Amino acid sequence: MSVDSDDCLHKSRQMPRLTRQQRTVLEVLQQLAQPISAQSLYKTLRQDHRSIGLATVYRSLEVLKLQGLVQSRINRQGESLYSLVQQDQHYLTCLKCGQSTPLDSCPVKHLERQLQQSASFTIYYHSLEFFGLCQPCALLD
Amino acid sequence: MSVDSDDCLHKSRQMPRLTRQQRTVLEVLQQLAQPISAQSLYKTLRQDHRSIGLATVYRSLEVLKLQGLVQSRINRQGESLYSLVQQDQHYLTCLKCGQSTPLDSCPVKHLERQLQQSASFTIYYHSLEFFGLCQPCALLD
DNA sequence: TATTGACTGATAATGATTATCATTATATCT
DNA sequence: AGATATAATGATAATCATTATCAGTCAATA
Ligand SMILES: [Mn+2]
Ligand SMILES: [Mn+2]
Ligand SMILES: [Zn+2]
Ligand SMILES: [Zn+2]
């Protein structure tokens, strides 16, 4: 009889329960539909009067990634954007103007499952992005 | 009758011929089998006594990307690595130890051609990478 | 050859991320 | 519970790849 039902969600080993700050960071990501940078997340929390240290924001995101809960991609300006792993979004990005258009579905879901089995590697998420020129930029030549 | 055979390689418009520095950067990438950072490329050229300014290295790489000749990906430390677009390499990367294992072939070549036609977007290259835990790191739990 | 605009390189500025370290919270004992 | 060891936090400083600046140089064209 489980007294603490939350335990069911975790592996048998001494998987450390998430700290208050780590849960806060996770909640922000859950409420957001879009990837967000660590800096923005930090500022968002300050405005909400739920401030946590900037270093802790970075550390929490790292922990959550290692748990397989959070993923990151790096935008044009070299800034990391974080989101839940279940957000599985991919983009066409223009090298000239930087505009990103999302694809309407993930083309490699199946491939990931396939790889998962062949390789001795636990896959948490993937990144896939196409780069080139959008129509307007291509016309300028 | 073409007097200058090199012209055949370029589009009709006034595609500016590459400058000496831009050609130097391109040559380094051609001789290398591995992606290289702008900083390393800069140092390599210094040792070769073919020095060009660091800013020019960055600018040249940008020009070459816009020409569809060069691609970049961002490594674990947030540093951009550059290579020729024809190098079509993808990795499994461990979130804990950072070790990257290359895949032995590109799983999305066909997909790229398919997208190219449907979308009004000129695709130069793509990035695809899988993240998770390698066996040793997964065992440590 | 003079004019014009693009390219270069030295250097300074930027800004996201990481390192440091004293403090605080949490877990593990007796 | 109280004592002790261990991990997490937050303020701040340090790092370092990249970008901005700007004066000087090169290259094309008339
Ligand atoms: Mn996907
Ligand atoms: Mn590929
Ligand atoms: Zn564009
Ligand atoms: Zn590993």
Please check whether residues B104 and B41 belong to one and the same domain.
no
Record the pTM: 0.88
Q: Answer whether B122 sits within 8 Å of A130, measured CB to CB.
A: no
Of B94, B121, B128, the CB nearest to A126: B128
- Asked if residue B138 is part of any domain, the answer here is yes
Q: What is the mean pLDDT of chain B?
A: 89
Share of chain A above pLDDT 70, in %: 88
The alpha carbon of residue A49 is apart from the nearest alpha carbon of chain B, in Å, by 31
Nucleotide D26: closest residue by CA–C1': B19
> Long-range CB contacts (< 8 A, 24+ apart) of B10-15?
B11/A141, B13/A141, B15/A141
Nucleotide D27: closest residue by CA–C1': B19
pLDDT: which is higher, B26 or B77? B26
Q: How many whole angstroms separate alpha carbon B129 and alpha carbon B35?
A: 15
Q: B61 is written with which tokens?
A: 């790489």
- Asked if residue B1 is part of any domain, the answer here is no
On chain B, the residues whose CB falls within 8 A of the CB of A103 are: 115
Please check whether residues B34 and B57 belong to one and the same domain.
yes
Please check whether residues B129 and B82 belong to one and the same domain.
no
Residue B3's pLDDT band (cuts 50, 70, 90): very low
Domains in chain B: how many in total? 2
* Domain boundaries, position B70: 11-86
Q: How many whole angstroms separate alpha carbon B24 and alpha carbon B57?
A: 9
Share of chain B above pLDDT 90, in %: 78
Per-residue model confidence (pLDDT) at position A17 = 86
Q: Which residues of chain A have pLDDT under 50?
A: 1-15
- Asked if residue B64 is part of any domain, the answer here is yes
Please check whether residues B80 and B109 belong to one and the same domain.
no
Q: How many whole angstroms separate alpha carbon A60 and alpha carbon A9?
A: 19
Per-residue model confidence (pLDDT) at position B16 = 62
Residue in B with minimal Cα distance to A124: B132
Q: CB neighbours of B66 closer than 8 A, spacing ≥ 6?
A: A95, A96
- Asked if residue A116 is part of any domain, the answer here is yes
Per-residue model confidence (pLDDT) at position B118 = 86
Q: Give the residue ranges with Cβ < 7 A from strand C.
A: A 14, 17, 19-20, 37-39, 54-55, 58, 62, 77-80; B 16, 19-22, 51-56, 59-60, 77-78
